[in-house]
Amino acid sequence: MRRPLLALVAMVALTVAVAGRQQGGLTPAQILKPSPESWPTFHGDYTGRHYSALNQINQTNVKGLSLAWTARLNTALQGATIGGFGPEPAAGAVPNANIKATPLLVEGMLYLATPNNAYALDGRTGRQLWHYYWKSQGGSNIGNRGLGMWGNYLFLDTPDQYLVSLDARTGKERWNQKKADYKGDLYATTAPTVVGNHVLTPAGGDYTDVPGWLESRDPETGALQWRWYGTPRAGEPGIETWPSAFAAERGGAAPWQPATYDPETNLIFVGTGNPQPVLIGDSRPGDNLYTCSIVALNADTGKLAWYYQVSPHDTHDWDATQTAVLFDAVINGRQRKLLAQASRNGVFFVLDRTSGEKVLTTQYLPSANWISGFKPNGQPIPNAAKEPQVGGALVSPHNGGATNWAPPSYSPLTGLFYVNTVEGYVVHYRTIGPTDVPNGYGGGAEHAVGGHGAALRAIEALTGKERWVHNYPASDGTAPRPEAFGGLLTTAGGLLFAGGSSGHVMAMDAATGKVLWHSGLVQQMSNTPITYMLDGSQYVLVAAGDTLYAFSVQR
C-alpha cells in the first residue's frame, strides 16, 4: 500500500510549491478538493460524477426556482484579444457561439469556450468581462467542451491543433503550443484536464486513418511532458492484436473526452475512440487494442497501468470515450475503489479502478441487438450477423450510440448512475469487396431508420438494474442523437437537473424521477448544467445555443 501514500505525498508537495509561486487563482489543492461553492473543472471535481454537495436548492423549495439573470454571448471582435495564425476574420463575421462547454466557476468568475473563443463573465450578473478569439487556420468547428484552469491560467484547445494559455484575469494570451498538423484530420473539442502540474490534452480524428493520443503539457511553458498513443507501436504489448505495426500506428483510438483522476493511486482514467478503418474491419483482424477501451495511465509518466476493452474489434463507430465515473462502495464486506461507465455500445460496466478487474457488466439499452453473449471477464461478444453486410444489417444502437459525449451523473445519496440514452436503429451496409482495403469510413455506409426515442435512465450502480426511466417525448418519431438533451447534474438537495426534449430545463426527484420543476429556454439545452454559490445564493446555470441562463430561489 506504499504507492497511494507516495502519490498523496507528491501531490501535497506540488501543491505547496505551486501555492508559493501563485497569488489567487486555482491551486492544485483546490482542484483536488474543490469547495462545493465552486465548479473548477469540467466534471466539477476529479470523480466525473457531476454531483454537487450544495443543498440550498432542494426538493422542498425547487418549485420557487426562477431566472436570476440571462446572458447572450457578445461575439463581436471589437475589444477582443486576438491570437492565432489564420486569416483575418471577414468584416461582420460572427464566431461560432453555440455553447456546448461546461463553464468553470472560480472566485466569482465564469469561464467558458466555443470553437476558437474563450470568455469570462461575472458569475453574479452574467456581464461579459473579456473575450479572446483565435484565428484558426482550419480544422473542425463541431464543438468545444470547455477550458482547463491552473492558478490564474486558462487552457484552450483550438480546431487547428494548438493549446493556448490565457491569463484568466485579462484574457491575454500567455503562450501557444502546436500539438500537431491540423491537416491530418484531427479534432480538438475537449476541455483540457489539469492534474498537478500536468495539462492533459488529446488529439485524434475520424475520417482518415490517423493515430489518437493523449499528451501532457507544462502549465507554465506548454512544453511537452509525455505522450501516450492509443494504439501500440512495434514491440509494445498489444501489438499482437493488430495485423502489423503499420496498421496499429494508423489505428485511431482518439481519447477525446476529459479524463477523471484518483489521487490515491495517481491514475488518470481515459476512454478511447474507435479503430480505423471505422466500419470495415477486414484489414485489421484482432481485438485492435487499445481502441474502444477504458485505460488507466500514471499521471506523471503516461505509462499504461491497466486497460479494459469494452468493444473488441469495433465495426460500428462506438467510441468508449464516455466519462469514467469514480466512486467507492462496499462489496461482499470489502471496501472497493470502483469505476463505472455507461458505454456508447449500450453496455454498463463497473470495474475495480486499481486493477481494471470486472465487477459488473450488464446491458442497459433494451434495444441493443449486436451482442451474442459475454465473456467471463465481462466483455461483450459481438454477433457476426450484425457486421456490415452487402444487403444491410439492422443494428442498435445507431451510429450516435446509446449515449455519447454529454456527461452522466452519479449521486452518492441514491447510489444511482444517471445517463441520457437513445434507442435508435441503423442499417449497416458493406460497399466494397472482400479484398479491398478501405480508409476511414470508406467501404461501408450507414442509414438511420428511426427507433424508440430517447430516455433518461437511472441505473443502480452496484447491480446494473434500471431503477426508473423518464421517456423524453418526441414530436417527429425520430431517434435523436443522445447528446441532444445535454448532460446531467445531481445535488445534495436530492435533485437531478436535465434538459427536456422541447427546449426546457427540469429538476427531478433524483430517487424517483418525478419532475418537480421546469422552465422554458429559447432552444434546446446545449451543455451540461452546473451549480455554484455566491453571496449566500445557490445558482443553477445552463446554456441553450449562445445564451446562458442562471436560476436561483429568490430570498
CATH of the domain at 140: 2.140.10.10
Distance between CA atoms of residues 512 and 456, nearest Å: 12
CA distances from 54 to 121, 185, 251, 256, 395 (A): 22, 42, 43, 30, 42
Confidence at residue 403, expressed as pLDDT on a 0 to 100 scale: 96
The residues assigned a catalytic role are 317
Q: CB–CB of 191/42 below 8 Å?
A: yes
Q: What is the pLDDT of residues 126-175, one digit of tens each?
A: 999 999 999 999 998 889 999 999 999 999 999 999 999 999 999 999 99
Distance between CA atoms of residues 149 and 420, nearest Å: 28
Domain extent, residue 467, equals 2-553
**pTM to 2 decimal places:** 0.94
Q: CB–CB of 511/490 below 8 Å?
A: no
Burial of 511 (0-12, 13-18, 19+ CB in 10 A): middle
Domains in the chain, number? 1
CA distances from 462 to 64, 131, 323, 331 (A): 34, 44, 17, 8
Q: Which three cell numbers stand for residue 530?
A: 452546473
Report the relative pairing of strands 380-382 and 466-471 from DSSP bridges: unpaired
Find residue 374's DSSP bridge partners.
Answer: 380
Beta strands in 343-387 (DSSP E): 347-352, 358-363, 371-374, 380-382
Distance between CA atoms of residues 414 and 65, nearest Å: 23
Sign of CA dihedral 456, 458, 464, 465: negative
Cis preceding linkage at 408, omega within 30: no
Confidence at residue 311, expressed as pLDDT on a 0 to 100 scale: 97
| 3-state secondary structure (DSSP) of residue 4 | helix
Question: What is the layout of strands, in order, in the sheet containing 173-178?
Answer: 148-150, 153-157, 162-167, 173-178
Q: CB–CB of 487/527 below 8 Å?
A: yes
H helices of 223-271, in order, are 245-249
Confidence at residue 94, expressed as pLDDT on a 0 to 100 scale: 67
Distance between CA atoms of residues 82 and 181, nearest Å: 21
Chunked in runs of 10, what are the mean pLDDT values of the chain (555 residues)? 43 41 76 96 98 98 98 93 92 80 98 97 98 94 95 97 98 97 87 97 86 96 98 97 96 95 98 96 96 98 98 96 97 96 98 98 98 97 96 95 96 98 96 90 92 94 98 71 85 95 91 97 94 98 97 90
CB-CB neighbours of 163 under 10 Å? 23
Q: What is the pLDDT of residues 177-207, one digit of tens each?
A: 999 998 888 888 999 999 999 999 999 887 7
Q: CB–CB of 51/412 below 8 Å?
A: yes
Which residue in 54, 37, 17 sits closest to 150, CA to CA? 17
End-to-end CA, the chain: 50
Find residue 304's DSSP bridge partners.
Answer: 297
| 3-state secondary structure (DSSP) of residue 15 | helix
Q: Which residue has 494508423 as its cell numbers? A: 250
